[in-house]
A and B are shown apart, each in its own frame.
Chain A
Amino acid sequence: MASTSSTSVGSGSTVVTWVLRLVVVGYLFFLIGWPSALIVRRTFEGGTQAFTEALQDPDVTHALQLSVVVALCAVAINLLFGVGMSLLLVRYEFPGKRALSALIDLPLAVSPIVVGLALILVYNPRFGWFGESLDAHGIQIIFAKPGMVMATTFVALPLVIREVVPVLEDMGDDQEQAANSLGANAWQTFWRITLPGIKWAVVYGVVLSLARSLGEFGAVKVVAGNISGETTTAPVLVQQKYQNFEQQTAYAMSFLLVAAAVVCLVIVALLRPKDHKPSRATATAAIQEKAS
């Protein structure tokens, strides 16, 4: 009797673990796995020929190029400012620090459409705050690449910061102080001590930002307007093609977007040393954003 009761307790907890696993796997399957798999299936329903044909459409190649350029610009900006802001937030004390820290999460909370509208309000050439004077100097922001880069940058802003901040906090400033006392100036300390310490967090943040930037739809659509395909990015084109009953092209591009995201994440998973733990919250947030 004693042995049966002890095994039943044991199997009871195993049952719970299995149920929990099933729930998690099911949840992920219905939310992410199945929809993504269907896209792959639809893309290659008629063999690879439809897929290659779709990619020869000049609209498609243009949109893909534009998406890559905009995403790379946004990632570069977020890399520089993200690392800088993280240092500011972790290493320095200043009034309003907590408010700033909260503000950084805003892009995750606000709908990207609203971001787009807000940018239009500020930079619109006819009634925006800066728009008129910029327009007078021949600089166009809204309905052009700069606006699209800004919108994408805004949306992906927290990703680098939220990866780097916990690692910086964890690292402490001991090593930096040691470098200072050994004669290193601020730049040497950053380059030789701080950066190697946060390297993996930066890489992870960059890849998440890249994945997020490539897939951005709402904010970019609003600021890009629709100038005869000139400012149409890949996700926006997916929607247009789908609505124009060119489903095959839409699926092909969707597949490319999913594949790019998966490749990004796999590369990071392979590169990352075992002991670096990215903050789960931002990772899942970004992935779910992409899936939606």
Chain B
Amino acid sequence: MSIDVSGLTKTFGDFVALDDVTVSLPTGQLTALLGPSGGGKSTLLRIIAGLDTADAGTVTIEGREATNLPARKRNVGFVFQHYAVFKHMSVAKNVAFGLEIRKRPRAEIDKRVAELLELVHLSQFRDRMPSQLSGGQRQRMALARALAVEPTVLLLDEPFGALDAKVRKELRDWLRRLHDEVHTTTIFVTHDQEEALEVADEIVVINDGRVEQVGSPDTLYDKPANDFVMRFLGETTDLAGQTVRPHDIDVSMSPGVAGSTPGTVTRILRVGFEVRVTVTTDDGAEALVTMTRTLARSTGVEEGAKVWLTAAKGATAVPVMRAV
């Protein structure tokens, strides 16, 4: 186990930002810390990096007790949400910083910087100042800077948060490929579930300062521990006391199946290939069903039609625990 966090508690005044968090993050993997805004993701990451101190609990990095180690001795690469580039240094100088601090020989520094700039596709920008780079380029530079010191772990706080959707997606794929190349244990924070599901080997869901669930993307999607995790990982709707995914509901025009929920179609919205059907059940609740255009046509769903809803066989469902 690469990073072990145990019983971590952090309060700001009387606000509890982390509440007895215990989690193990595996070596060599790409782990996502996923959760809503204010959930405590950055706080956890900063404590692992030594940029903040916890009120209680321990941090162990690669078997080394690190709880009271200052940030500079943890050999952790940290990439900040807003890059934190050194504004007065050129791209190459930024990347070289950690190596110069470690007093490596000049030739070695130059070689390593050239390699890293190659890796992040910034070779032709080596003499530019950070202010002359685009957001995505700055982010890659920050990544190269963190990788330069060959960190035991690489921590990224919402690495793509400030970028537009297209660049985000490119960088996300690139991060995945990069990780497959360098294999540094990597933890990145995100509040975008799609990003986490697509890129990460392992996901830690954090909410209100607590770990809700740890698992692979498939585990989390297929076997959510509770309805919070289920809701957070994708669209959900409530049907007969259960939380299910809208595409996991079968619609029938006759009351064939036992336990099906009767209702009336109140609204149909077509978005590209998908049809979104709102059904008001007989007990007054609303359920959302999504299906393909083809299926909608063959079933004969239309506004005002009487329908019976059932959760599809094998659908992921958890009991409704709290009101939305």
Asked whether, in the complex, the Cβ of A178 is within 8 Å of the Cβ of B78, the reply is yes
Asked whether, in the complex, the Cβ of A177 is within 8 Å of the Cβ of B51, the reply is yes
Asked whether, in the complex, the Cβ of B101 is within 8 Å of the Cβ of A181, the reply is no
A77 contacts the other chain (CB 8 A)? no
CB-CB < 8 A to B76: which residues of A? 181
Asked whether, in the complex, the Cβ of B71 is within 8 Å of the Cβ of A181, the reply is yes
CB-CB < 8 A to B51: which residues of A? 177, 180-181
A185 contacts the other chain (CB 8 A)? yes
Known: A181-B77, A183-B102. 14 other contacts (CB 8 A): A174-B84, A178-B86, A178-B145, A180-B50, A180-B71, A181-B78, A181-B146, A182-B77, A182-B101, A182-B145, A182-B148, A183-B73, A183-B75, A184-B101
Residues of chain A from 184 to 207 with CB closer than 8 A to chain B in the complex:
184-185, 188, 192-193, 196-197
- From the candidates A174, A185, A193, A196, name the one contacting B82 in the complex (CB within 8 A): A174
Asked whether, in the complex, the Cβ of A179 is within 8 Å of the Cβ of B97, the reply is yes
Asked whether, in the complex, the Cβ of A177 is within 8 Å of the Cβ of B101, the reply is no
A7 contacts the other chain (CB 8 A)? no
Residues of chain B from 142 to 184 with CB closer than 8 A to chain A in the complex:
142, 145-146, 148-149
CB-CB < 8 A to B86: which residues of A? 175, 178-179, 193
Residue of A nearest to B102 (CB): A183
Q: Report how far A193 CA is from B84 CA in the complex, Å.
A: 11
Given contacts A193-B86, A197-B87, whether A178 and B80 have CB atoms under 8 Å apart is: yes
CB-CB < 8 A to B149: which residues of A? 182-183
B positions within 8 Å CB-CB of A: 49-51, 70-78, 80, 82, 84-88, 97-98, 101-102, 142, 145-146, 148-149
Quote the shortest CB–CB distance from A198 to chain B (angstroms): 11
Residue of A nearest to B80 (CB): A174
DSSP class of A's interface residues: helix, strand, loop or mixed? helix
Given contacts A175-B86, A197-B88, whether A180 and B80 have CB atoms under 8 Å apart is: no
Sample of 6 A–B contacts (CB below 8 Å):
A174-B82, A178-B145, A179-B97, A181-B72, A182-B101, A184-B72
A positions within 8 Å CB-CB of B: 174-175, 177-185, 188, 192-193, 196-197
The 3 closest A-B pairs by CB, nearest first: A174-B84, A182-B98, A178-B84
CB-CB < 8 A to B77: which residues of A? 181-182
Residue of B nearest to A174 (CB): B84
Quote the shortest CB–CB distance from A18 to chain B (angstroms): 37
Q: Report how far A180 CA is from B73 CA in the complex, Å.
A: 9
Q: Report how far A188 CA is from B149 CA in the complex, Å.
A: 16
Asked whether, in the complex, the Cβ of A181 is within 8 Å of the Cβ of B88, the reply is no
Given contacts A175-B86, A181-B77, A182-B149, whether A188 and B70 have CB atoms under 8 Å apart is: no
Asked whether, in the complex, the Cβ of B97 is within 8 Å of the Cβ of A181, the reply is no
CB-CB < 8 A to B85: which residues of A? 175
CB-CB < 8 A to A178: which residues of B? 78, 80, 84, 86, 142, 145
CB-CB < 8 A to B70: which residues of A? 180
Q: Report how far A178 CA is from B74 CA in the complex, Å.
A: 13
Q: Report how far A179 CA is from B96 CA in the complex, Å.
A: 11
Q: Report how far A92 CA is from B145 CA in the complex, Å.
A: 27
CB-CB < 8 A to A182: which residues of B? 72, 77, 97-98, 101, 145-146, 148-149
